[in-house]
Structure 1
Amino acid sequence: RMQAQIQVQRQDQMQAREQMQAKYYVSPKKADLAVRIAERERRILRGIDTRNGYSLYIGIPFCPSICLYCSFSSSPLGLWEKRVDDYLDALLLEMRACRDFFSPRTLHTVYVGGGTPTTLTPRQMDRLLCAVEELFDLSHAMEFTVEAGRPDSITKEKLEVLRAHPVTRISVNPQTMNQKTLDLIGRRHTVEDTVRAFETARSLGFDNINMDLIVGLPGEGIEEVSHTMEMVEKLRPDDITVHALALKRAARLALHMDEYEKISFQASDQIMERCEAGCSA
């Protein structure tokens, strides 16, 4: 029986590769990568009852500033700082409604994203996480992520609040470790801020830290991406998530592309191979 299952699985993989290449013109190398990732995800999801379970996403739509490439529904904290508590009031009402609606089901994962959740003050973050624990049964939750995100929003006090709750995973997202690029894309933090935030999280006992990177940022080629990968590899995060820059219509970079015509945008196979090597190390 096991032999038959393996054979069916191999046939499924071959069909998936063939369809990606024939219908979507995906290169053989990228089709192989997609199949490998799908198999990893299948193993992770194998123990999850998707029919009777659910995952909870909580959005915090505020950021220290809006990145040049971003099209998410997020607003600068400075414009809305006095209304954040009002937003949390409304959010908690919606969370109670979700609790009632999903009460027969099993909660598998919690993800607090944004925006930048760590734009919340320590008091506000504690209020939110206390509400999650009060309203939802976390006894079967396999992962509880808070996307700390922007290093300029991360403080020791905020991280201590996360440690006081059953948060199992955080993200510290530099996107790049090149200061010139950070300045260009409107991320008002330094490379040193990223290192400080990561090391502070480690010192407080966080043992599942992800870092998000973007390739194809304006002005970045293989040298800049290699520099980023080298610095991130030294920090030894538990996960690295690499995104290829995808501009949506609402992003400022897409709306004002003519202002950046002289800046190159690269996401070559060589760059992707460098990222893959770093993620596999």
Structure 2
Amino acid sequence: MSHLEPFGARLRRAMDERGPLCVGIDPHASLLGSWGLADDVAGLERFSRTVVEALADRVAVLKPQIAFFERFGSRGLAVLERSVEEARAAGALVVMDAKRGDIGSTMAAYAESFLRKDAPLFSDALTVSPYLGYGSLKPAVDLARESGTGLFVLALTSNPEGGEVQHAVREDGRRVGATMLAHLAAENAGEEPLGSFGAVVGATLGDLSSYDLDVNGPLLAPGIGAQGATPADLPRVFGAAVRNVVPNVSRAVLGEGPDPAALRDAAERYADEVRTAAEG
């Protein structure tokens, strides 16, 4: 397998050069409708191509949500394959938002679907769920190291329901979410300029000072825009780790479509606001 430069190093450079922003590609039915597109494969393809053509040459990260493509079956996945290929060719890093999580050979197969260099859906990083135990992610961790890709592990998510698992206290007194962050810090130990194993940490969660967010890896932060958080909130939520935050903005940017210029303006505005907030 040919080796890429590690994902963490590529992400650090993209954030520094293009601004620290991740824009989702979330073609749900209501958004297709607001763009004047039919809720079918043709509408899906027009939507995805517009987002990629407008943003892939300027934002650091694009994050397709695979569910919105899977609902159209094999034709939807074919659109996703083209979108990923075209986005990466234009210079964006692609994080596949698939939230995969399983054990053994099944987890290995999930990892190969997105992190193997010759896979049709090969992406720069993959979101994964550790709630079958962090050790269940080992096949994905191993393949990511081998291929130069990365993982974003669900740690402290922005949905209200997540707290019943992620804030639960273990027998050793440590919260489950903190345990996941500690595992990631161990994965990234000694990596420069940034480790390749990141956490998903919601920007809407308020004061997280009781958690050690310094995992020497990226923090993918949903919640900016439609969910109520703003770039100005990031230093308060993430503290000293704010420089490694990759805020994810989806509806607040995508809602400006289908005009490509409006999409670009919205993305650039958010990237500038995030940079200003992070630099303090």
Task: Give TM-score scaled by structure 1 length.
Answer: 0.42
* Structure exhibiting the larger radius of gyration computed from Cα positions: 1
Would you tell me which structure has more helix in proportion to its own residues?
Answer: 1
Larger RCO, structure (CA 8 Å, separation 6 or more): 2
